[in-house]
Amino acid sequence: MQTPPPFDYERATSVEHAIALLERLGPEARLVAGGHSLLPMMKLRLARPEHLIDINDLVSQLAYVRVESNELRIGAMTRHADVLASAVVREHMAMLVDAERVIADPIVRNRGTIGGSLCQADPSEDLSAAFSAAKATVVIQSASGSRNVAARELHTGPYETVVGPAEMLTEVRIPIRPGCGSAYEKVERRVGDWAVAAVGVCVWMQGATIGDIGIGLTAVGATHFCCPEAEDALRGKEPTEENIAAAAALASQHCNPQADQRGPAEYKRHLAGELTARALRRAVARAAGKDA
Amino acid sequence: MQITMTINGDEVSRDVEARVLLVHFIRDQVGLTGTHWGCDTSNCGACVVWLDGTPVKSCTVLAAMADGREVRTVEGMEHADGLDPVQQGFMECHGLQCGFCTPGMMLTTRWLLDHNPDPSEGEIREAISGQLCRCTGYDNIIKSVQWAAAHAREEAVTS
């Protein structure tokens, strides 16, 4: 039987309450949202928090998808299933729907939250790549106020983020810009598994040229889940097959995959390039209004 | 810690360690062994129950997290006038062999049909994709879901 090690349980009734509990209980306290990353880690003794602060009552405050100030804003307690089902998300950032469809399985998606996934900071996590591609910002709240951090600066390493011990990630903000098309491509060993490799691409077209672009990669050791070298190579260019191939080669080159049970490093490097090309083509087609 | 929840309409109160998982609470403390305990890793779906109306894997939910909430298990599927059409469908179409995955499969099916009364085969396969049948009896499970959908519709038409 796998059971977590002993801990004290608290339940927060508001964001302020959760932060006050974090401050009072100290660095050995952890927030638990859906718990589908943290509880398995605790069962394996990879995590041993002394206090768990259950924030599921914060769904009333932090589970939402809305458009505000020209941004798509998603509350941290929004369950994966609700992001997947959201027409607003589909309209503004189809990549997130692609990604959510291949995160775990429908029952796990009923419980897991986007904030929990981001803060778990698993190096193979899908939304980290998607939000990196979308050039999203996360809102991190503490007792003294809130700060905004670029999604690309959220992670400091495997399972580590800039979110402090008495801070809480409360929202993800994705800028809404014209000419947008996005797509997410993942290769997994079986449905619902972690990625062997996955790539999210977001393009903002200006006529026939790529005005701006974000390329996010997961599970392949890409620094900050992104590939600025490939982005720079495409910005201001037309998405021709030749340019796509050049960007894919850069994505393949500028990652650092590790061999594990999901495959050898060279295979993952190959996937990083191929999936970049596939996601690019679909993102560009979607920007042109084609249902790709 | 003292926790109180509603299971299949009945209020249940117990003193538990905070680390007790919901699946063990339901089986060992409350004695409802219809909920099965399988992989421990939120892969197999044998432990699926409804928490506040949504299917969850109860091996990855703390009993404490269900404090004050509503839980529905397979024991709560039967109506006063007989089996739920989902249970009937699994009987009619041989939707269970060893029966281990059955409670979770049926609870997910009930939820699917509540939200999508006429699912396509693809939608059914997607809905149960987080649940494993080690007898590999998926075709009959899908037929069972389709039977339940068809007979619920008949009932709705005739009543």
Is the confidence at residue B159, as pLDDT, over 60? Answer: no
Which of A5, A32, A111 is nearest residue B56 as measured by Cβ atoms? A111
**Alpha carbon of A105: minimum distance to chain B alpha carbons (Å):** 5
Tell me which chain A residues have a C-beta less than 8 angstroms from the C-beta of B21.
3, 39
Q: Residue A287: which of A205, A219, A198, A207 has the closest Cα?
A: A205
Our CA-based measurement puts residue B123 at a distance from the nearest CA of chain A, in whole angstroms, of 11
Amino acid A142: pLDDT: 98
- A2 contacts in B (CB within 8 Å)? 40-41
Range B140-152 average pLDDT? 97
Q: Report all structural domains of chain B as residue ranges with CATH numbers, in order of start.
A: 2-76 (3.10.20.30), 85-158 (1.10.150.120)
Q: What was the ipTM of the complex prediction?
A: 0.95
| Token pair recorded at residue A214 | 């974000």
Of A9, A56, A110, the CB nearest to B18: A9
* Chain B, window 55-114: residues with a beta carbon less than 8 angstroms from a chain A beta carbon: 55-57, 60-62, 64-65, 67, 108
Tokens for A34, please give them.
């859906």
Residues of chain B with Cβ-Cβ distance to A54 below 8 Å are: 62, 64-65
Interface with A, mutate which of B65, B110, B124 (most A CBs under 10 A): B65
Instruction: For residue A107, list chain B residues with Cβ-Cβ distance below 8 A.
Output: 45, 48, 55-57, 108, 130-131
**Higher-pLDDT residue of B72, B80:** B72
Percent composition of chain B: helix, strand, coil (DSSP 3-state, to 5)? 45, 15, 40
Arithmetic mean of pLDDT, A147-170: 97
A-side interface with B, Cβ within 8 Å? 1-9, 11, 32, 35-36, 39-40, 43, 52, 54, 56, 104-108, 110-111, 191-192
User: What integer pLDDT is reported at residue A292 of this predicted model?
Assistant: 67
Cβ <8 Å between B42 and A108: yes
Rounded to an integer, the average pLDDT of B136-155 is 92
Burial level of A74, CB count in 10 A (0-12/13-18/19+)?
buried
Q: Identify the CA nearest to A284 among candidates A232, A254, A243.
A: A243
Report residue A105's pLDDT band, with 50, 70 and 90 as the boundaries. very high
List of chain B residues whose C-beta atoms are within 8 Å of the C-beta of residue A108: 42, 57, 60, 130
Q: How confident is the model at residue A192 (pLDDT cuts 50, 70, 90)?
A: confident
- Partners of B18 on chain A (C-beta within 8 Å) are 6-9, 52
Residue A290: exposure state from Cβ atoms within 10 A (0-12, 13-18, ≥19): exposed
Determine what percent of chain B is predicted with pLDDT higher than 70. Answer: 96
Cβ contact A216:A197 at 8 Å:
no
Neighboring chain A residues of B45 at a CB cutoff of 8 Å: 105, 107
**Which amino acid is it at A244?**
I
Q: Which value, to the nearest 10 degrees, does the dihedral of the CA atoms of residues A115, B66, A61, A72 take?
A: 40
Task: Inform me whether the pLDDT recorded for B158 exceeds 60.
Answer: no
Q: Which of A36, A52, A106 is opposite residue B42, by nearest beta carbon?
A: A36
Supply the mean pLDDT for chain A: 97
| pLDDT of B121 strictly over 90 | yes
Reported as a pLDDT band with limits 50, 70 and 90, residue B118 is: very high
Q: Give A21-43 pLDDT, tens digit per residue.
A: 999 999 999 999 999 999 999 99
Q: Does the distance separating the beta carbons of B24 and A6 come in below 8 Å?
A: no
Q: Determine the pLDDT at residue B152.
A: 85
pLDDT value at position B153? 67
Tell me whether residues A40 and B62 touch, CB distance under 8 A: no
**Beta bridge partner(s), residue A199:** A185, A217
Complete domains list, chain A, with CATH: 8-58 (3.30.43.10), 59-175 (3.30.465.10), 180-287 (3.30.390.50)
- The model's pLDDT over B25-71, given as tens digits with 9 standing for 90+, comes to 999 999 999 999 999 999 999 999 999 999 999 999 999 999 999 99
Shortest CB distance from A107 goes to which of B17, B64, B130? Answer: B130
Contact between A187 and A102 (Cβ < 8 Å): no
List pLDDT tens digits, range A243-259. 999 999 999 999 999 99
Q: Residue A291 has what pLDDT?
A: 73
Nearest CA in chain B to A37: B60
**pLDDT at site A1:** 85
Q: How far is CA B95 from CA A159, A176, B8, B85, B139, in A?
A: 41, 47, 24, 13, 8
The confidence score (pLDDT) of residue B155 equals 65
CA distance A116 to A189: 24
Could B57 and A52 be called an inter-chain contact, meaning their C-beta atoms sit closer than 8 Å?
Answer: no
- With cut-offs at 50, 70 and 90, classify the pLDDT of residue B11: very high
> Tokens for B62?
């703390």
**Percentage of chain A modeled with pLDDT above 90:** 98
Q: Is the pLDDT score of A290 beyond 90?
A: no
